[in-house]
């Protein structure tokens, strides 16, 4: 399958089925695991990764598309963001989706003895072999890991070690405490509530994290479960700005950053939740004394395109 | 400053200056560092974190807003995404921006002896004390670290340890090899080029990573530096789909995921680079046999709001 001729034969034989496998076989002794294999697969139109017995534990993460995981005699249909865990000794195969092609990242590993507490150890020795979904954090961690493998920069081994530690912890948490989001939020809020000035701190932090999606100031009070008039009062006392003025200023600052990075005025307006480009431009001009386009010209064109880490 | 009365006094004394400090003082012995302090600061309108001598090395990351870092007799103006590194024994102060308030995350630490190679060790023992910018990856790493501190879930210490290892590596890389993006891309491509079928693999991967911003198929060939007609031919031979059909299908799949997550049709269209909601709806209906709104009704409403990790 190296040249055009062989690819054609392949296509003739399999119809549209295709399969790419970028495998890294390091046999690395890391601080918490022996790493057997890591990599990513892209496969389409029902391609089958045929049945094999696992020589080590494996975590698979569906980056996009869908597939079916067969484990012994069970089958699990997986979609974007799903995680599948299987232990050494079990038999499995994977069949890529028919329409939306599969992109999957995975690691094969053995836990090092005594590197982990018994909760996590017993999970990976005998995982439930079913799916959990974690679209955001697990994806980031696998992106980081594959980035380290591909780029092979200095200290790549130490960084891979750290990524894998985080993946093992995160996947265990997702399976053991599936609905952790709410618990996590409560613990987090309780910790912040002990600090001085926490009400305004939480509001500033919330606004900074959600500036794109905040439509009205009442959303801030609602999200943080404060009385709106109480929040408005302490916010103004503490910062000297009203909540609505503060949010508007922050939206303009975000808009300026997006525009400097080369985003169009239309997309910037949509991203920041303005009803139209016109209403964004009007607000921008009122605040900055010039239109977004004039602002960009003044700033000397777009910044260098920000680095986009590929998984 | 605990109640309304004290806040008013504070505001009267300082004008609009404000300052919140969420400090975590663990004195943790981790695998690669002793961690003295970690936390985040929000401060506005010229608030000054007064001059003090560093008892340990410190990395500060500007999450948003701006500030001035004073180190001994030098001053560095920092903006969103900037990283500042200072070693033990040096004197510094920080002054928050006047208009756009500062949000900063930081760690104070000492390297453990023999935990690192000498390159990284000598960097943190005597860092250049100036700024570098890294808007994306460092932000993610600090978000992960603060998330672990706030949420205090099982294995939080191991996860913090892994985050800090990655932060120390990433910050060192940014300072030592500032313009690493291009080098990294070249190494990455060279590694992928050794696999069978790499041309189509790279195209599939590129499309998956950039589906939102791809406007025309020629962009894929251009980004990957392939001859467009060569790429179109091998892509079709290998996948059974033309490049343009494949991109269109992927955009519709992404659009379906955005809509299921509760994004509006207008924002989905803008995010995927369609000229208008109308052109997105037309394409969607042609492909799916129903409008985006009808699709959402059929799927039974939005998925649970995806977890949004706060820094």
Boundary-marking domain end, from B178, B209, B236: B178
The arithmetic mean of pLDDT across residues B138-159, rounded, is 90
pLDDT at position A195, please? 73
Instruction: Indicate if B48 and B174 belong to the same structural domain.
Output: yes
Instruction: Indicate if B128 and B47 belong to the same structural domain.
Output: yes
Most confident of A83-87, A210-214, B116-120, B237-241: A83-87
The arithmetic mean of pLDDT across residues B174-190, rounded, is 70
Using one digit for the tens of pLDDT, what is the confidence trace for A274-301?
888 899 999 999 988 999 999 988 886 5
Instruction: Indicate if B194 and B161 belong to the same structural domain.
Output: no
pLDDT at position A110, please? 94
Residues 6+ apart with CB under 8 A from A148: A156, A159, A160, A163
The number of folded domains in chain B is 2
The arithmetic mean of pLDDT across residues A66-92, rounded, is 91
User: Does residue A307 lie in a domain region?
Assistant: no
Instruction: Indicate if B147 and B285 belong to the same structural domain.
Output: no
Instruction: Indicate if B272 and B238 belong to the same structural domain.
Output: yes
**CATH number of the domain bearing residue A209:** 1.10.10.60
The angle that helices B198-210 and B180-193 make with each other, rounded to 10 degrees, is 140
Q: Which residues of B touch A20 (CB under 8 A)?
A: 195-198, 200-201, 204
Q: How far is B41 from chain A (nearest CA, A)?
A: 9
User: Does residue A196 lie in a domain region?
Assistant: yes
pLDDT at position A185, please? 67
Is the pLDDT at A177 greater than 60? The verdict is yes
Instruction: Indicate if A263 and A163 belong to the same structural domain.
Output: no
| Domain span holding position A100 | 4-178
Q: Which residues of A touch B173 (CB under 8 A)?
A: 153-155
Instruction: Indicate if B201 and B215 belong to the same structural domain.
Output: yes
Is the pLDDT at B166 greater than 50? The verdict is yes
pLDDT at position B176, please? 86
CA distance B102 to B48: 11
A205-208 contacts at long range (C-beta below 8 A, 24 or more positions apart):
A205/B40, A205/B42, A205/B103, A205/B310, A205/B311, A206/B310, A207/A246, A207/A247, A207/A250, A208/A250, A208/B42, A208/B63, A208/B64, A208/B103
pLDDT at position A300, please? 65
User: Does residue A305 lie in a domain region?
Assistant: no
Cβ contacts below 8 Å, chain A against chain B, sum to: 226
Across A140-156, b (16+ Cβ under 10 Å) vs e yields bbbbbbbbbbbbebebe
pLDDT at position B300, please? 65
pLDDT at position B1, please? 31
Question: Which region among A91-105, A172-186, A205-219 has the lowest average model confidence (pLDDT)?
Answer: A172-186
Instruction: Indicate if B140 and B10 belong to the same structural domain.
Output: yes
User: Does residue A309 lie in a domain region?
Assistant: no
User: Does residue A272 lie in a domain region?
Assistant: yes
Boundary-marking domain end, from B123, B147, B178: B178
Most confident of A142-146, B25-29, B264-268: A142-146
pLDDT at position A16, please? 58
The arithmetic mean of pLDDT across residues A129-150, rounded, is 88
pLDDT at position B183, please? 63
**CATH number of the domain bearing residue A9:** 2.60.120.10
Q: What percent of chain A has pLDDT over 70?
A: 87
User: Does residue A45 lie in a domain region?
Assistant: yes
The C-alpha angle B95, A246, B107, rounded to 5 degrees, equals 40
pLDDT at position B306, please? 38
Is the pLDDT at B163 greater than 90? The verdict is yes
User: Does residue A192 lie in a domain region?
Assistant: yes
Using one digit for the tens of pLDDT, what is the confidence trace for B31-70?
999 999 999 999 888 888 888 888 899 999 999 999 999 9
Let me know: does A134 contact A83? Beta carbons within 8 Å: yes
User: Does residue B310 lie in a domain region?
Assistant: no
Question: Which region among A109-118, A151-160, B2-11, B19-28 has the lowest average model confidence (pLDDT)?
Answer: B2-11
Instruction: Indicate if A90 and A143 belong to the same structural domain.
Output: yes
- More confident of the two residues A62 and A16: A62
ipTM for this model: 0.81
- Whole-number average pLDDT of chain A: 83
Most confident of A91-95, B188-192, B299-303: A91-95
Helix (H) or strand (E) holding B188: helix B180-193
Boundary-marking domain end, from B147, B178, B209: B178
Residue owning tokens 């997105």: B280
Instruction: Indicate if B143 and B266 belong to the same structural domain.
Output: no
Q: Which residues of A touch B44 (CB under 8 A)?
A: 239
Is the pLDDT at B266 greater than 60? The verdict is yes
Cross-chain Cβ contact B100/A195 below 8 Å = no
Instruction: Indicate if A290 and A196 belong to the same structural domain.
Output: yes
Cross-chain Cβ contact B196/A152 below 8 Å = no
Question: Three-state DSSP class for A283?
Answer: helix
User: Shortest CB distance from B208 goes to which of A64, A152, A271?
Assistant: A64
pLDDT at position B9, please? 41
Instruction: Indicate if B61 and B188 belong to the same structural domain.
Output: no
The arithmetic mean of pLDDT across residues A134-145, rounded, is 89
Most confident of A215-229, B126-140, B162-176: B162-176
Using one digit for the tens of pLDDT, what is the confidence trace for B77-121?
999 899 999 999 888 899 998 777 899 999 999 999 888 888 899
Let me know: does A91 contact A42? Beta carbons within 8 Å: no
Q: How far is A209 from chain B (nearest CA, A)?
A: 6
């Amino acid at each position: 399958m190296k040249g055009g001729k062989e690819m054609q034969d392949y296509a003739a034989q399999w119809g549209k089925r295709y399969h790419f496998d970028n495998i890294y076989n390091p046999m690395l002794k890391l601080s918490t695991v022996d790493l057997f294999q890591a990599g990513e697969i892209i496969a389409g139109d029902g391609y089958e990764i045929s049945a094999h017995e696992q020589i080590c534990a494996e975590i698979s993460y569906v980056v996009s598309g869908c597939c079916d995981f067969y484990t012994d005699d069970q089958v699990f249909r997986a979609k974007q963001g799903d995680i599948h865990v299987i232990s050494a000794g079990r038999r499995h195969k994977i069949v890529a989706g028919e329409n939306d092609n599969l992109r999957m990242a995975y690691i094969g590993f053995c836990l090092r003895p005594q590197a982990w507490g018994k909760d996590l150890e017993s999970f990976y020795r005998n995982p439930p072999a079913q799916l959990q979904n974690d679209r955001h954090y697990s994806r980031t961690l696998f992106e980081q890991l594959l980035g380290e493998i591909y780029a092979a920069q200095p200290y790549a081994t130490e960084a891979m070690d750290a990524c894998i530690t985080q993946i093992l912890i995160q996947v265990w948490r997702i399976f053991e405490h599936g609905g952790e989001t709410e618990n996590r939020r409560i613990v987090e809020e309780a910790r912040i509530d002990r600090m001085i000035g926490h009400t305004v701190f939480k509001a500033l932090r919330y606004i900074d994290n959600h500036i794109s999606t905040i439509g009205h100031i009442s959303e801030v009070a609602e999200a943080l479960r404060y009385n709106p008039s109480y929040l408005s009062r302490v916010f103004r006392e503490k910062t000297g700005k009203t909540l609505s003025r503060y949010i508007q200023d922050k939206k303009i600052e975000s808009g300026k950053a997006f525009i400097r990075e080369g985003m169009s005025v239309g997309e910037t307006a949509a991203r920041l939740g303005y009803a139209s480009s016109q209403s964004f431009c009007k607000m921008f001009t009122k605040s900055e004394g010039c239109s977004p386009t004039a602002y960009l010209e003044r700033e000397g064109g777009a910044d260098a395109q920000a680095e986009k880490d590929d998984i």
